[in-house]
Amino acid sequence: MADERRLTQQRADGATLVIFYVLALLVVPARFTIAFVPITLPPALFVALCLAVLWFAAHLVDNLGLAKGRNTVRTLFAVYVLLHLCTYALATRRYLPADELSVSDSALIRVVAMSALAVFVIDAVRTTDRLSRVLKIMVGCLTFGAFIGLIQFGLGLDLASYVTLPGLRVQDNGYSALESRSIFFRPAGTVNHPIEFGLVCVLGVPFAAHFVFQARDRGEPAGRWWAALSLLSLMSILSLSRTAILGLVITGIVLGLLLPRRRGLPLLGVGAVFLGGASAVVPGLFGTVTSMFSNIEDDPSFQGRTKDYDGAWIEIAKHPWLGRGFGTFLPSKYTILDNQYLLTMIENGYLGLLAFVLLFLGGIFAALRARSLSKDENVRGIAVCLVGAMLTSALGAATFDLLSFSVATGMAFLLLGVSGALLRIARQEARQLVSSAR
């Protein structure tokens, strides 16, 4: 009987499948795509498509443990996908050049797959323990990528470039894994670009901090979580990205304001000490970071990001409501827009922008609502982490074209799904408490 119970407790579930996605997204280098398909299909996107099929099939029956009923975040994803389908229909109804039509087809697949992933997380991860398991694996994978980035920064050696995997081919994305700024290499870890690398490292910081406190509360060793927190924080800074630095600031403010004082204040103190230590260990780091923000209006990088904004508004005016088609504003053909909100207005119109913004607002609402419903410190702590992560992702969308980068997009949609799952879990716990009281 004991063996039977143990096997039942260890049975694979929805969280196990989500973990496969996390491994494919964060451990497999982002430049790899599946070799035997005619479109650009990264392994993580393939897993997401498989989860979409499983989600649809599981909702046809009632005995596979998938959650039923409404969820705020899931509803917003339905609206988001519906508007994308409308944009696609209008864009393909009129003439599109062959290159834009091809990218539009693959972009629609990507949107549907990412949205399905988020919805799968919402419905398939049913308990706090399993949700925590997914997030712990996520932090571990992010720490692995941060370690690869540390080697790139310190030694100028890209370990990811030596990896070969059967069935996968390398997709040339036009980016170098070892760009430079000032006297430093800018690491990219296992992702495509230093800006993306910095953002995903920041997204892991609040969750690593949460597991530090959780381990201490339970009397468990917290060394591995301290190591993860330190490495992710360090690489967020060493990515030499304004997006990452601002994301760290936002994360610190959110944790300081929403966490209990006994946790928030010590964490801010540790952050300040860590920043000073990093500046001392890496000579010239502090000056390089501050120079990124001083006289920013004269910075060539900043000027390059904003010089095309006037032209963007001209494009928006051509198709203001539903846009010209997602993925059709090709950077190689038109221009690179380092602002996802502007790019969304061009490709999906004002309605598409509204749906995109509502995803982040819905994720923040779901996390805050879960925090207010639950008395469980684990749930409340994860909710605070999600608020910081959603705000950081929303900031990232304003500083670069977020949806053009597979890992940043995958992380954002994964955490949106986690927000919806957390709200469902908190509501279930609240109903159980009311039932028990009665």
* Residue 64 clears pLDDT 70, i.e. is over it: yes
* Residue 388 clears pLDDT 80, i.e. is over it: yes
* Residue 32 clears pLDDT 60, i.e. is over it: yes
* Residue 138 clears pLDDT 90, i.e. is over it: yes
**Which residues, 6 or more positions from 427, have their beta carbon under 8 angstroms from its beta carbon?**
370, 373
Chain segment 277-288, per-residue pLDDT in tens: 666 556 555 555
Angle at which helices 406-437 and 340-373 cross, to 10°: 20
Pairing mode of beta strands 184-187, 178-181: antiparallel
Is the CB of residue 123 less than 8 Å from the CB of residue 73?
no
Q: Sorting pLDDT into bands at 50, 70 and 90, what band is 38?
A: confident
Residue appearing with tokens 């598409």 = 352
Amino acid at the residue 209 = A
Q: Is 174 left (phi over 0), alpha (psi -120 to 50) or beta?
A: left
What pLDDT, on the 0 to 100 scale, is given for residue 6? 45
* Distance of alpha carbon 184 from alpha carbon 239, whole angstroms: 10
Average pLDDT of the segment spanning 185-212: 92
Average pLDDT of the segment spanning 130-137: 97
When the pLDDT of each residue in the chain is averaged and rounded to a whole number, the result is 87
